[in-house]
Amino acid sequence: MNPLRKAWRIVRSAFLWAVSVLHFFPICSALVLLGAFVDPRKNDWPQRFFFRNILRFAGVGFSVRRSPGFDPKRTSLFICNHVNLFDAFVIYSAIPQFVRGLELESHFRIPAYGWMMGRFGNIPVPENPGPADFLKLLRRVKAALDDGISLIVFAEGSRTLDGRVGPFKKGAFILAVQSGYPVVPMSITGSFQFNRKDDWMLNPSHITVHLHDNIETKGLRKGEVDALMERVHAIVSAPVDAYQDAWEAL
């Protein structure tokens, strides 16, 4: 890469990170504190505006594509590919309903961030849950869904290293089948080109979120979990693979 171009990328990325972080902590803290006194559902629009602003300050374009069979009013489990640290802002800006996330329990021990996520209402997921831990998680998930709160799950469990969708873990689909709520496959494209796990650079890009058709799980049996997981993986992967193939061919 041209040295001047490389230097510009470094300066640009450092500036965008600084702006994003300075925007995130004070405003997010204020919104979380506000949530202690105001019903989170009534406080949703400023949080959504704030999350969308993070993407603007990070210098990335953003758009959403909804499939005809996607019902924006149905409480659902959204299964999404996991790309980078900006995924939460991308997803929250894209889903047109009150939504919270399932997040690894270890994240709640991160100073400042963990406190914010706990106050925000995300649900902690043990890294290696035993039967008792899973039942506790299922009760929390079912209670949230019954309360009209849709949930986001990164079924891969970790961020991608090559831009593709990795294998899914079965837990999210067991939760979906046992809770009886629909699953919405969700694909993020363009975000790997913007930022990736092994690189702090923020590159010019346009992120597109694909909200696919709702998939019913009510009435599915335990033996159908694997088929559901494979079906959702194929749907999530399709636009991601198409985007990656086109990008790698450039």
State pLDDT tens for residues 60-105.
999 999 999 999 999 999 999 999 999 989 999 999 999 999 888 8
Write phi, then psi, for 127 (nearest 5 degrees).
-65, -40
Confidence of residue 219 (pLDDT cuts 50, 70, 90): very high
Confidence of residue 181 (pLDDT cuts 50, 70, 90): very high
- Indicate the average pLDDT of the chain: 91
Q: Are strands 77-80 and 123-125 parallel, antiparallel or unpaired?
A: unpaired
Helices (H), 72-126: 87-94, 113-120
Q: How far separated are the first and last CA of the chain, in Å rounded?
A: 16
* Neighbouring C-alpha atoms within 13 Å toward the C-beta of 38: 14
In whole angstroms, give the CA distance from residue 237 to residue 166: 9
Residue-level pLDDT at 97: 94
Residue-level pLDDT at 212: 98
Confidence of residue 152 (pLDDT cuts 50, 70, 90): very high
Q: Name the pTM for this structure.
A: 0.91
Confidence of residue 198 (pLDDT cuts 50, 70, 90): confident
Residue-level pLDDT at 124: 86
State pLDDT tens for residues 26-38.
887 777 777 777 7
Indicate whether 244 pLDDT > 80: yes
